[in-house]
Amino acid sequence: MRAKEGCLLFRHCAVAGAGTMGTGIAITIARAGIATTLFDLDAAALDRARAQIADFLAGSVRKGRLTEAQGAQALDAIRFSTDLADLADCDVVVEAVFEDLGVKQSLWQRLDDVCGAQTIFLSNTSTLSITELAAASRRPERVAGAHYCLPAQVMKLVECSRAIQTSDETWQRTLAFVAATGQQAIETRDRPGFILNYFCIPYHNDVIHLIEADVAEPADIDRAVKAAMGFAMGPCELLDMIGLDTQVRLSEAMHAVTNDPRAAAPPLLRRMVAAGLLGRKSGRGFYAYDTSALYGA
Ligand SMILES: NC(=O)c1ccc[n+]([C@@H]2O[C@H](COP(=O)([O-])OP(=O)(O)OC[C@H]3O[C@@H](n4cnc5c(N)ncnc54)[C@H](O)[C@@H]3O)[C@@H](O)[C@H]2O)c1
């Protein structure tokens, strides 16, 4: 268990949204020895997350990254819930629900009613304004951005940003929380895409336009990018991990704010999503997958 001294300040934390990101973020918190509630409205998403987390932790034990006791403790630390009331006494709630301002804002409002005054709210949004999200909360000074990198259970980086309203105390607690869970915070301003998605969203859409224009096959684009640019993953492999439905939401949200034509969701992307080709989570995107395993297991 990667218990950090700071985890004493964080006794119970929650993640809202048990999808691609929320599942990985919950692992990072539980692995630090903090009681973690993973909340989703969809019970099937929680069942999937539970199986993926158990599988990932078993893989970590097999690879010698955790002892058997640490793996079991991390799994025991996670409670799976469809009841928002279970988040009442949390020190921190990390929100990782759909990239949709209305969905996120209405969740913040319901959390205002449920959570104690000590709870801080961190949004994992990739493109939306932390300041606008904070404005929907009755405790805007307790809201900040914490954008984890995919896959959160493997990558250490968290882009952290302050809303205009974020208090100094909330900001210090945000940085302390990220450190207590063994992650590395990098400060960014509250701007659409922060550092990474500012160029990743348009770059990924450019790649989809290349495929649509029949310039090259996805596997050849991935091979070219990895060979020439030294990236660990090709863009089509990464898009399949991000989720093609999420890429549509990210593109729409970023395009709405920046009006950058390269941020607009390409027609091929929309057609693939309409056909249920969502990437790893549905078993097929640009490539085919076993849906039960989390990356890095
Ligand atoms: N996928 C990525 O590569 C990536 C990377 C970094 C950040 N993000 C951000 O993380 C967030 C989640 O993205 P994702 O890819 O995990 O999405 P996802 O579609 O895989 O999962 C979203 C989950 O949220 C749940 N949900 C939706 N509305 C809810 C509500 N009101 N209350 C509780 N649960 C709710 C859904 O049931 C689903 O399980 C988005 O803001 C996205 O921008 C995504």
Q: What is the pLDDT of residues 183-204, one digit of tens each?
A: 999 999 999 899 999 999 999 9
Cα distances (Å, whole numbers) of residue 52 to 8, 37, 46, 81, 287: 27, 16, 10, 16, 20
Average pLDDT over residues 250-258: 92
Query: What is the pLDDT at residue 1?
Result: 47
Query: What is the pLDDT at residue 257?
Result: 87
CB of 150 closer than 6 angstroms to any ligand 1 atom: yes
Query: What is the pLDDT at residue 8?
Result: 63
Which ligand 1 atom sits nearest the alpha carbon of residue 250?
Answer: 43
User: What does DSSP assign to residue 294?
Assistant: P
Q: Ligand 1 centroid vs 8 CA: distance in angstroms? A: 28
- Whole-angstrom Cα distance, residue 279 to residue 288? 8
CB of 45 closer than 6 angstroms to any ligand 1 atom: yes
- The better pLDDT of the pair 290, 250 is held by 250
CB of 246 closer than 6 angstroms to any ligand 1 atom: yes
Which ligand 1 atom sits nearest the alpha carbon of residue 123?
Answer: 41
Q: What is the band of 297 on the pLDDT scale with cuts at 50, 70, 90?
A: low
133-159, pLDDT tens digit by residue?
999 999 999 999 999 999 999 999 999
Alpha helices in 142-194 (DSSP H): 168-180
CB of 98 closer than 6 angstroms to any ligand 1 atom: yes
Which ligand 1 atom sits nearest the alpha carbon of residue 125?
Answer: 41
Which ligand 1 atom sits nearest the alpha carbon of residue 42?
Answer: 37
CATH of domain 196-282: 1.10.1040.10
Query: What is the pLDDT at residue 247?
Result: 97
Query: What is the pLDDT at residue 291?
Result: 74
The residue among 172, 161, 115 whose CA lies nearest residue 138 is 115
User: Considering only CA atoms, which residue is closest to atom 28 of ligand 1?
Assistant: 97
Q: Where are the domains of the chain?
A: 5-187, 196-282
84-112, pLDDT tens digit by residue?
999 999 999 999 999 999 999 999 999 99
Catalytic residue IDs: 126, 147, 159, 197
- Domain 5-187, second-level architecture: 3-Layer(aba) Sandwich (3.40)
The residue among 8, 241, 289, 65 whose CA lies nearest residue 27 is 65
Whether this model's pTM surpasses 0.85: yes
CB of 41 closer than 6 angstroms to any ligand 1 atom: yes
CB of 6 closer than 6 angstroms to any ligand 1 atom: no
Alpha helices in the chain (DSSP H): 20-31, 43-62, 68-76, 101-114, 130-135, 168-180, 196-212, 218-229, 235-242, 244-258, 267-274
Q: What is the band of 7 on the pLDDT scale with cuts at 50, 70, 90?
A: low
Per DSSP, the residues of 210-231 read HHHTTSS-HHHHHHHHHHHH--
- Whole-angstrom Cα distance, residue 65 to residue 270? 39
**What is the edge-to-edge ordering of all strands in the sheet holding 157-162?**
78-81, 35-39, 12-16, 92-95, 120-123, 143-148, 157-162, 184-187
273-292, pLDDT tens digit by residue?
999 999 999 999 999 998 76
